[in-house]
Amino acid sequence: MHISRRTILLAAGSGVLGSAAAAAAGAAAFVAVGEVRYADRFYPGVQLDGEDVGGLTQAEARARLSARWDGFREAPVIFRLDGRTWNPTGREVGIEVDYTTPLTHAYGWGRRGSWEARLRQQQQTLEAPLDWRTSVSFDPHTFTEYVARIAAETAQAPTNAALRIETQGGQRLARVYPSSEGRELVPADVLAVMSRRFDSPLRLIIDLQSRPLAPQVATADVTPASERARALMTGHIELVAPGHRWSIAREDLAEDMRVVGPADAPDVVVDVSYRAFARVAQEIAETLRVGAVEPKIRVDRAGNVVPLVQGTPGRTIDAEGLWSRVQTAFKRGQQRVNVPLVIIQPSITRLSGSELQFDNLIAQGVSRFSGSSHNRIHNINNGSRLIDGTVIPPGETFSFNATVGPITPGNGFVEGLVIAPTRTEPGIGGGICQVSTTLFRAAFWAGLPISERWQHAYRVGYYELGPGNPPGFDAAIWQPAQDLAFTNDSPNHILIRRILDPHRETLSFRLMGPSLEREVTLDAWRGEEIEPPPLRVEPSTELAPGEIEKTDSAIPGLRTVITRHVQLGGRVLFKDRFPSVFLPWAERWEVGQDEDGNFDPKLVPGYAEAQAEAEAEAQGDGSPPTDAQPPAEGSSGSDQSAGPS
């Protein structure tokens, strides 16, 4: 017969056994039976996490708790964010699971204390089950640290837009690097998330939230500067003048490009290349340049300016003004620039009397005309008068023939003696070479470049009168073939003044203006004289029969070289030579012939003696003397001969 512990316990309690002793004995029996029967098992009525484990061993109960809670302990929480998941262990997030402590406490129920205490515990669980719960603890600090690691792992900083200057294909470009949003984790409310009780091992799913982070510099902030840079570099700038157009590519003008200003409001600065501009500006200047034409003027004896030919203004470009306009057009995106022109007035109109310095002597040339006929002196006076007061502008070449005008009666000239190819004969303007010779000497001593000078056919005695006038220091003119020309190579105007002194029988030309500071020296070379040809006698219908007239004197021939040395500040500026080959000139007489054309040459004084000398020379076998050779130097002067006297 089997009697359960419960039956024993109920019987003792109801007095079936009859006495206190019997009751005590029954209770003791109850405890004893239980301790034997549940020696390693949980007493009836003991529960763990709501599950009855009475009659189970500790190992069996632990196995059940382990199966229930160990998975939760390894992954109590799942974090989810934007398609990603995190499965931390309980230790990583501060969640600790303890089922060992309640297991130990539950197993000790009914086994501790006196037998009366153990009896009460066992009796209590028989009447009403007792439950021990697994402990789940939570550390907010550890949990927060783990969420912070997720936040750091998933954080994405925003990218600010940037404008950068880059070189592509040899060109400088402003490139926009666009902005992008960042992301950050919305801070989790730890207390709210972990407020539920962990009565069961249900894994907690936490959906984290992120939010966008706006960049400080958006693409729209830098795009306008990029577009402006692109506009600055695209297209051409037209440079316009009346009847002309030029074009400069903007990309050619851009020398350097850089970004300035704050990052959220940048600007692009482009430096404009002067070299690219200068190439076009030079072409424009050469195309549009028109030189001012200096007026032809004369200064009368009272110092008044007498215009002969009106000058005309010139023009050039205002290069600095054009450069400024091009820079402005480039920066403002303008497509057209008008070329600024500057009107250039003739230089003499801009100069004062103190600047002209027409009271300062540069150099002078002097010649004597002693023994000249009345008509010759008239022509000297008239020719020099036509030159007097002439002003030579800077850079202009003076022409004697152009200045004097035609040698005609209408221009004030009269008949005088002129040198024909074989004889001296009457002609309009005889004596004009006294004027050209004197002006040649003035230009010579001034150190001005002489581009045209002609010698006389034979030596003219007038031009060797006075000191410092060696043979060959003369200049003949014969219109229109032969001229005297020299250039004003100074930066100043030069005034020509003449002084005619009838008492001293001298003609002077003075060149007036600012000093040229040139030092001029003359070297004269002459060869041996060549005897003139025999006396010549020719018939004349202009003379009465038997009347005689001498037309030419015997003049020896001669070769000469005048060398000029021009220095400036002790340095040789240039050297030039003016060679002359004077022909030996025969004495010539004319004899009036009769109606039959007969004339008697013996009427000429010395004719018989000349004939005898000629016959003697013809019978001799001697050869003529050889003339000496002039210095072998280059010549910039003219060595042509002929011209009037």
Q: What is the mean pLDDT of the chain?
A: 85
Confidence class of residue 4 from pLDDT cuts 50, 70 and 90?
A: low
Quick one: average pLDDT of 464-477? 92
How confident is residue 635, by pLDDT bands cut at 50, 70 and 90?
Answer: very low
Q: Give the mean model confidence (pLDDT) for residues 513-525.
A: 94
Residue 448 has pLDDT above 90, yes or no: yes
Q: What is the mean pLDDT of residues 442-466?
A: 92
Q: 395-404, 501-510, 579-588: which range is least confident on average?
A: 579-588
Q: Tell me the pLDDT band of 252, cut-offs 50, 70 and 90.
A: confident
Query: d(Cα 514, Cα 508) in Å, to the nearest integer?
Result: 19
The whole-number average pLDDT for the span 480-495 is 94
Cα–Cα distance for residue pair 284/289, rounded to 1 Å: 8
Encoded amino acid at 286, one letter: E
Domains of the chain plus CATH, in order, are 5-135 (no CATH), 221-350 (3.10.20), 354-619 (no CATH)
Which residues lie below 8 Å from residue 340, measured CB to CB, with a gap of 6+? 317, 318, 321, 322, 325
Residues contacting 207, CB < 8 A, separation 6+: 80, 81
Cα-based distances in Å from 522 to 81, 190, 199, 459, 472: 109, 117, 133, 19, 12
- What does the pLDDT read at residue 639? 43
- Look at residue 564 and tell me whether its pLDDT is greater than 90: yes
pLDDT at 644 over 60: no
Decide which of 330 and 383 is more confident.
383
> N- to C-terminal Cα distance for the chain?
188
pLDDT category at 255 given cuts 50, 70, 90 is confident
**Residues 445 and 366 sit within 8 Å (Cβ to Cβ):** no
Confidence of residue 216 (pLDDT cuts 50, 70, 90): confident
pLDDT on residue 46: 94
Give the tokens for residue 340.
């600024």
Q: Give 149-174 pLDDT, tens digit per residue.
A: 999 988 999 998 887 877 777 677 77
pLDDT score of 19 more than 90: no
pLDDT for 205 beyond 90:
no
The pLDDT value recorded for residue 26 is 63
pLDDT digits (tens, 9 = 90+) for 287-324: 989 887 767 777 777 777 776 666 788 899 999 999 99
Other Cβ atoms closer than 10 A to 118 = 20
